Each structure stands twice: as structure tokens, then as C-alpha cells.
Amino acid sequence: MAHTVIRKASRYVIDVDGAEAGYAEFVDRRDGVRDFNHTVVDPAFRGQGLSKPLISAALEATRAEGKKVIPTCSAVQAFIEKNPEYRDLIEG
């Protein structure tokens, strides 16, 4: 199963073999903070471990842009708690 994560407007989308399998949605605030507020994996793709590469790629891209993160989405918050290498991105 080949997948890629790309940015489309205000979300990062994970594509699996040409199908949009899920996304992590965000809002960029004026203060250089990105609020990840909603993450969805399509029911047809759940249980395949796609949220980890999706959220990881979204956070790496955010880091590359020099932004901080507010993880209002519970999936993003849980991911950061389980992966301490991303804790430096949390605003505050």
C-alpha cells in the first residue's frame, strides 16, 4: 500500500493508491501558530495505521515552516503525547 501526504489548502491529505484516505485539518493563526482541529481517516481505510504517517508529515511540515502547534484535535494531541520528539512544537 503506497501512500503520500500532500498539503491541500488548510489540510494535509493522505493519499493511498490514488484515493484520499484521510486528512488533518488546520487553521493558521496570525501569531505563527497552527491549530490542528480535525483529523479524519475514511472508514474504508481505518485500521491500516494511516493516522501516524498523516499526522507525522503534517507536524514535520509545520516545523519546517517555523510554526508552533495547538493540538485541539484529540488525535493530534494523543500523537504528540506518544511521540515526545514533537512536544517542542506545542505553543505555550
Alpha-carbon distance of 49 to 45, in angstroms, equals: 9
Q: What pLDDT is attached to residue 73?
A: 97
Cα–Cα nearest to 12, from 50, 57, 71: 57
Architecture per CATH, domain 3-89, reads as 3-Layer(aba) Sandwich (3.40)
Walk along the chain (92 residues) in steps of 10 and give the mean pLDDT of each run: 92 96 97 96 96 98 97 97 96 80
Burial class of 12 by CB neighbour count within 10 A (0 to 12, 13 to 18, 19+): buried
